[in-house]
Chain A
Amino acid sequence: MSTLVAGPSCPPTHEGDDDLVSLVVAARAGAASAFGELHRRFAGVVHGIALARVAPGDADDVTQDVFVRVHRTLRSVRDPAAFPAWICRVARSVAADHARRVRRRLPDAPLPQDRAAPPVPASDAELRDRVLRALARLPEAYRETLLLRLAEGLAGPEIARRTGLTPDSVRVNLARGMAMLRPMLREEGWS
């Protein structure tokens, strides 16, 4: 009889996450300390995934919503080792729902009349906004990985551990994303 994997495939646990399976099992059984440890380890990656999809001011709310859903549905995780990929899926889904709700509320922004070179940004905040606009034009996988690295401060190996991607894939996403981003930043007045 063939065997069917009940959840997404997941790479072997990496150094530093040998106890992840037991943590998930304990949290699933209701251990508050285990859930707290999962929150500590994964809140950053959830927040980064949210940043890739919603306004920065909404990322904290989305992160909280994700962990509410995780707490409610953790029992549905059949394979504890697949927890990183699972929580990332939940985060993307919650963030996408939030983004859709916001789009329905906000009127469409007027289209720019021309694409003249923007003036030199007056402040870091303005430059940050331009960077975020450029990031929004990247493919989702590249944008998400770059924000995990640059905004959340996660190194490549940790991004791999927390998302279920292989380290090579993380490196590729970062390199290709950055290669696409550099010319966009020049367009946005990045000197």
Chain B
Amino acid sequence: MSNPGDYLYDGSGPTDPDVARLERLLRPLGRSGDEPVPVFAPPPRWGWRLALGGFLTVAAAAFFAHVGTVDAPPVVDAPRVLDEPVPPKAPPPPTGPRIRDASAGPDLAHGAWIETADADREILVGDVGRVRLAAHSRLQVRHVADDETRFYLARGALEARVSADARPRFFQIDTDAARCVDLGCRYTLEVGADGAATVRVLTGQVAFETPTREVFVPTGASCVARKGRGPGTPRFDDVPASVAAAFDAFDASDTTDAPRRRALALAALDAVHANRDTLPAWHLLQESDASVVRATAAKLASIAGPCDVDPRATAAELRAAWKAFLESRCW
């Protein structure tokens, strides 16, 4: 049995005269199907993303003046490579990219530390990545394999560039606050004396992960992860101060005080008005408080328009649908 609207949907059922007339009028505008397939030259083997100029953000550079109470290591011409015992639970990798100093030093083994003095150093990760370790920083090679390479940034700052050919999630950097997972990007990551890690994405996108929260940081956005609390709410670097302050207050709230946390979440939503404000707002969809999730979805719809979500969708499906929707319209 046909339903009203079947003819419009798939041409079945009784003909709708308005629809049929529109088809006749508009079909000539459609693609004829005779056009040849465009032919392109083969793409280059490696697709590095464009450098935006200036490998450290101004904020990161300013941060170096306040790196804290860490004792300055002795001045040396080359970075010291400190071989420390490989953690007993970490198996030696059978394969994986060569990790080496760009200044033609020795290959860096699993577990090796790289410590810089007054100068930056560049670390090559096979032919898929480069890490520029800033002065007065300390980095360890934690895990090397074909499907995953992971470092640990104990202090200081680095800038990572990952080739377009690297598989998703191949390149990861641990800090005491959270794990930074490359989804294809160029970013800076700095660890303060208090252990807080700030990632600022220059191109592409980065995910912060903890067992309880996922955080998405696209181009032009940054996020702070604090020891014991994990990643805060990311926001574009040009969001209004009122939005930043509202989400800072939310991030700093006691997670065990549900009424207070709810009030701060709703206050943060009140501060959100522009398309780019929807980035921090989206992260409120992860809250366990259903009223906050409802208010967030309503706010997102009021700014970006309605998102097509199945009413039976799970929480994860809801977040994924909104993320895809907002990525195409607002971020």
Contacts and interface: CB of A to CB of B under 8 A. Distances in A.
Interface of A: 1-9, 30, 32, 35-36, 39-40, 43-44, 47-48, 51, 56, 59-60, 63-64, 67-68, 71-72, 74-76, 78-79, 85, 89, 92, 124, 127-128, 131, 139, 141, 147, 149-153, 155-157, 165-166, 168-171, 174-175, 178, 182, 185, 190
B211 A2 contact: yes
B25 A131 contact: yes
A127 B25 contact: yes
Given A147-B26, A149-B8, A166-B310, A4 B214 contact: yes
Given A9-B321, A35-B37, 20 more contacts: A2-B214, A5-B320, A8-B328, A30-B43, A40-B37, A59-B29, A59-B31, A75-B47, A78-B184, A79-B168, A89-B328, A128-B26, A131-B25, A131-B26, A150-B22, A150-B23, A153-B23, A165-B308, A166-B308, A175-B9
Given A2-B211, A157-B10, A185-B18, A75 B29 contact: no
Contacts of B207: 4
Contacts of A44: 30-31, 33
Contacts of B146: none
Contact of B209 (A1, A7, A139): A1
Contacts of B19: 150, 178
Contacts of B39: 32
Contacts of B317: 9
Contacts of A35: 37, 40
Nearest to B24: A124
Contacts of A4: 181, 183, 207, 209, 214, 216
29 contacts: A1-B179, A2-B209, A3-B214, A4-B181, A8-B320, A8-B324, A9-B321, A32-B39, A40-B37, A59-B29, A59-B31, A60-B35, A64-B38, A67-B38, A68-B40, A72-B43, A75-B47, A76-B164, A78-B183, A89-B328, A150-B19, A150-B23, A150-B27, A153-B23, A153-B30, A155-B10, A155-B11, A174-B9, A178-B18
A71 B43 CA distance: 8
Nearest to A156: B9
Interface residues of B, number: 51
Contacts of B30: 44, 47-48, 51, 151-153
A157 B10 CA distance: 7
B29 A56 contact: yes
A56 to B, nearest CB: 5
Q: Which 8 A-B pairs have the closest CB atoms?
A: A8-B324, A9-B320, A47-B31, A156-B9, A4-B207, A151-B26, A151-B30, A155-B10
B8 A151 contact: no
Contacts of A155: 9-11
A60 B28 CA distance: 13
B212 interface: yes
A40 to B, nearest CB: 7
A92 B328 contact: yes
A92 B35 CA distance: 21
Nearest to A30: B42
B66 to A, nearest CB: 31
Contact of B211 (A1, A124, A149, A170): A1
Q: Count chain B CB atoms within 10 A of each CB in A4, A72, A79 and give the residue with the most.
A: A4
B37 A131 contact: no
Contacts of A175: 5, 8-9
Contacts of B165: 75
B273 interface: no
Contacts of B22: 131, 150
B9 A128 contact: no
B210 interface: yes
Interface in B4-61: 5, 8-11, 18-19, 22-23, 25-31, 33, 35, 37-40, 42-43, 47
